[in-house]
Amino acid sequence: MPSHMPDYRELLSAAFEGDAVEGGVDVAALRRIRAGEFGEWLTALDRSGLFGADALARIAEQWRADPTVLLDALLAGADTVTTRRTLAEWAALDRPESRSRLG
């Protein structure tokens, strides 16, 4: 595998544009992203026709290495308040005492 992997951030942001505009990314989706469960997003990318099998494999590898790459793509078109709230919910997943309040 090449040492330099392509950066798909702009294409990912375009593919997911609008997904988080209305209300952000829900907590259940944040948990799936944190747990490395990327299937629904990889399926959406596959169906878009923008990415081949090799590109999807590289994207999945990038997400496994840094799940915030996916989160950033989902939030790319969101307003500042939505982005801040979603990032606060993401950070709260690291705090065990907050998990029960997040649903």
At residue 55, the pLDDT reads 94
Indicate the domain borders of the chain: 9-99
H-helix segments, 1-103: 9-15, 27-34, 39-48, 53-65, 68-75, 80-92, 96-99
33: burial class by Cβ within 10 Å (0-12, 13-18, 19+)?
buried
Do the beta carbons of residue 67 and residue 60 sit within 8 Å? Answer: no
How long is the chain?
A: 103
Q: Residue-wise pLDDT tens for the chain (103 aa)?
A: 444 556 788 888 888 876 665 667 889 999 999 999 999 999 999 999 989 999 999 999 999 999 999 999 999 888 899 899 999 999 999 877 554 555 5
CA–CA distance, 42 with 61 (Å, rounded to integer): 11
